[in-house]
Amino acid sequence: SAPFGLDFGNDTSVFAVARNRGIDVIVNDVSNRSTPSVVGFGQKNRFIGENGKSKESSNIKNTVGNLKRIIGLNYDDIDFEVEKKFFNKNKLVKLDDGKIGIQFRFKNENVTFSAVQLAAMYLDHSKQIIANETKLVIKDVTIAVPSWYTQEQRYAVQDAAKIAGLNPVRIINEITAAGVSYGIFKQDLPANNEETPARNVIFVDIGHSSYTASVAAFKTGEMKILGTGFDKHFGGRDFDKAVTDHFINEFNAKYKVDCRENPKAVYRLLSAAQKLKKVLSANQAAPFNVESVMDDIDFSSQLTREELEELVAPLLQRIRTPLENALKQANLTIEDIHSIELIGGASRVPCLKDFITENYKETSRTLNSDEAIAKGAAFICASASPLVRVRAFKYTDVLTGDVNIDFGDGEFNPVFTAGSPYPSTKLITLNKDADFKITSKNGKNEVVSVFDITGVPKEGVELKIKVRADPSGLVSVPEVYYETVEEYEEEDVDEQGETVKTTKTKSHQTKLNVTHTSPYALSEEKLAELTALELELSASDALVKQTEDAKNTLEEHIYYCKDKVSSDEWKPFASEAELKKLSDLVNAAEEWLYSEDGEDAKKAKYVAKYEDITRYSNLIKGRKKQQEQEATLAKKEK
């Protein structure tokens, strides 16, 4: 299978694949290099990605975005409280397990899907797009997530990948993936030895919904993330909101209404505000036109860049803390920094760039900032795969939270602390005389993982336990073992030719059984059930698509034949009776197509009608072609 790297964005996602030629961004079904991260539901099928976005304005309640903000979160989580305002058009549901679900009208029924399922639908869609485009099997995936994602959120993303039929090889931090891109594409990094100082780069990723800054130290073939800061709720959508609010106020004042009551009106103004904001990144002023905001009112206004900058001025202050926290955690000052690399769409806002330049340092954009995360993720996925060869590139990240572990005696200690590098493995030595559990908790004192250790000898033994902060930011226990020393006799022949026995020792490792469970990961049974459901939904979507295609093919062919007959183009190649028969068939099919029956029929029906017609039309087409070929041959012979 071809290694797949996914930049799972809140606004749009980017898909990259590692092949032997290199790492490529894969275009979607309408040839775009990024795909809207939305899922929508209709009467017959789902609308995912581009299709979901284009139907969103007419299908508001049944379309959902911001998926990465709800996956793995509890309904009562304080972060969700902040996010709720971005879901005000959707019907939110608290699920039995405390997680977030959304209710939709789908196939004329009310159905609820969990955040994990919705993300899985999107991942499945991305998998199919890549498979269609590259004709490769897509199975292994590395998914990029924000550095601040908790272990719970990482487990949920893994589950979503599994439900989509993917194998989540790694969950990688977005900025780290971008850093890896930088590290593998830059040719001029410092030599990798003790004496040469590293190049310290700050990456600033301001996307649609969140902002992360990390300090990374580069040498040839190596990157160490030294510090990370973030604002989970700061991004382009805050700028959109500032601009939208401005126009909502203007609209309400002008027409003496309150359009906030009308979700469609707000959606239209928001979409236009998003576009306007982007235009103002390249222009000094731009018009703002929205047709039929509500009650058939068309709204026209304009905004200058200067006015936009006034609207968003308070937001700019929020750039400070994460960037400064990243430096602090890295133990560096801005003087130690080689450059500030911008990634993420929102960092294109000129005043935002200027703010960073004025307060910190000149910014640069030497990476393809929209694609660096996906490409880095694909590279990392390929590194873990034996099938695609990539250069070696080492990298470490830093943990954003403490990991507290209890080794079966009821006492939790921080085995890994916030700010320490990972992946990292620690060897713990403990005496045990019975089976026990290793339990890990997060900073919020919630149990994240339980490892059951069985096979401990009753007579007591000194155990060696390897605990690992693994490359996906999760805790694992790769190995638990004890050593026994065995004595044995070895026979040898001495100089006199006599046999002598000597006692020697050899140590032997016995590995114990470790089984892992997490309250945050779905059980095998649940995963199997949801995977089967996703397969069913995607097969049903595929059938709807094929039916539509069959219908279009029939419709096109009807018009094609009508045109050929009425223009007399086929007259020389068919008898009166044949043309009459064809016309009758075509007319009947046309009538049927626009009747209630034909509007919504099964795929086989459209195919059958098409074949009925082509039996005649192909015959005539064939004769025409033959005559033409004979004519050209005759010409050549002359």
Residue from 235, 322, 376, 471 binding ligand ATP (CB under 6 A): 235
Block residue for tokens 């290694």: 3
Closest separation in Å from C-beta 345 to ligand ATP: 2
Question: Residue 236 touches which of Mg ion, ligand ATP, none (CB < 5 to 8 A by kind)?
Answer: ligand ATP
Question: Residue 12 touches which of Mg ion, ligand ATP, none (CB < 5 to 8 A by kind)?
Answer: ligand ATP
Select 224 or 277, whichever has its Cβ closest to ligand ATP: 277
Look at the chain and count its residues: 638
Select 246 or 348, whichever has its Cβ closest to ligand ATP: 348
Phi–psi pair at 187, nearest 5 degrees? -95, -10
Cα distance from N-terminal residue to C-terminal residue, the chain: 57
* Distance, CA of 186 to CA of 201 (rounded, Å): 12
Residues 38-77 that bind ligand ATP (CB under 6 A): 68
Closest separation in Å from C-beta 12 to ligand ATP: 5
* Distance, CA of 576 to CA of 554 (rounded, Å): 23
Residues 143, 147, 149: CA angle, nearest 5 degrees: 75
Select 224 or 348, whichever has its Cβ closest to ligand ATP: 348
Asked whether position 209 contacts ligand ATP by CB under 6 A, the answer is yes
Question: Residue 278 touches which of ligand ATP, Mg ion, none (CB < 5 to 8 A by kind)?
Answer: ligand ATP
Residues 5-24 that bind Mg ion (CB under 5 A): 9
Site residue total, ligand ATP (CB under 6 A): 21
How many CA atoms does the CB half-sphere of 616 hold within 13 Å?
Answer: 25
User: In the beta sheet, which residues pair with residue 6?
Assistant: 15, 143
Select 148 or 379, whichever has its Cβ closest to ligand ATP: 148
Of 8-16, 215-223, 496-504, 584-592, the segment contacting ligand ATP by CB under 6 A is 8-16
Helix, strand, coil abundance in the chain, percent, nearest 5: 40, 30, 30
Strands 39-41, 22-25: pairing is: unpaired
* Distance, CA of 426 to CA of 466 (rounded, Å): 6
- Show the tokens assigned to 183: 């590290």
Closest separation in Å from C-beta 602 to ligand ATP: 39
* Distance, CA of 264 to CA of 280 (rounded, Å): 24
The answer to whether 169 and 6 have CB atoms below 8 angstroms apart is no
Question: Residue 235 touches which of ligand ATP, Mg ion, none (CB < 5 to 8 A by kind)?
Answer: ligand ATP
Asked whether position 346 contacts ligand ATP by CB under 6 A, the answer is yes
Closest separation in Å from C-beta 211 to ligand ATP: 8
Closest separation in Å from C-beta 63 to ligand ATP: 16
Residue from 147, 153, 173, 210 binding ligand ATP (CB under 6 A): 210
DSSP code string of 392-419: --EEEEE-SS-EEEE-SSS--EEEE-TT
Question: Residue 209 touches which of ligand ATP, Mg ion, none (CB < 5 to 8 A by kind)?
Answer: ligand ATP
Cα–Cα distance list, 34 to 29, 137, 188, 211, 545 (Å): 10, 20, 29, 19, 22
Select 176 or 385, whichever has its Cβ closest to Mg ion: 176
Helix (H, G, I), strand (E, B) or coil at 74: strand
Reply yes or no: is the peptide bond before residue 386 cis, omega within 30 of 0: no
Of 235-243, 302-310, 321-329, 405-413, the segment contacting ligand ATP by CB under 6 A is 235-243
Residue from 46, 224, 277, 353 binding ligand ATP (CB under 6 A): 277
Closest separation in Å from C-beta 563 to ligand ATP: 44
Asked whether position 344 contacts ligand ATP by CB under 6 A, the answer is yes
Spatial CB neighbours of 245, under 8 Å, sequence gap ≥ 6: none
Of 193-201, 225-233, 273-281, 530-538, the segment contacting ligand ATP by CB under 6 A is 273-281
Select 13 or 158, whichever has its Cβ closest to Mg ion: 13
- Show the tokens assigned to 522: 């779905």
Residue from 5, 42, 183, 236 binding ligand ATP (CB under 6 A): 236
* Distance, CA of 327 to CA of 355 (rounded, Å): 17
Question: Residue 281 touches which of Mg ion, ligand ATP, none (CB < 5 to 8 A by kind)?
Answer: ligand ATP
* Measured torsion, CA atoms of residues 453, 459, 464, 470, in degrees rounded to the nearest 10: 0
Select 6 or 474, whichever has its Cβ closest to Mg ion: 6
Question: Residue 473 touches which of ligand ATP, Mg ion, none (CB < 5 to 8 A by kind)?
Answer: none
Residues 178-217 that bind Mg ion (CB under 5 A): 207
The answer to whether 34 and 50 have CB atoms below 8 angstroms apart is no
Asked whether position 9 contacts ligand ATP by CB under 6 A, the answer is yes
Amino acid identity, position 90: N
Amino acid identity, position 451: F
Amino acid identity, position 152: E
Select 47 or 239, whichever has its Cβ closest to ligand ATP: 239
Asked whether position 449 contacts ligand ATP by CB under 6 A, the answer is no
> Could you list the residues that contact Mg ion (CB under 5 A)?
9, 207
> Could you list the residues that contact ligand ATP (CB under 6 A)?
9-12, 68, 207-210, 235-237, 274, 277-278, 281, 344-346, 348-349
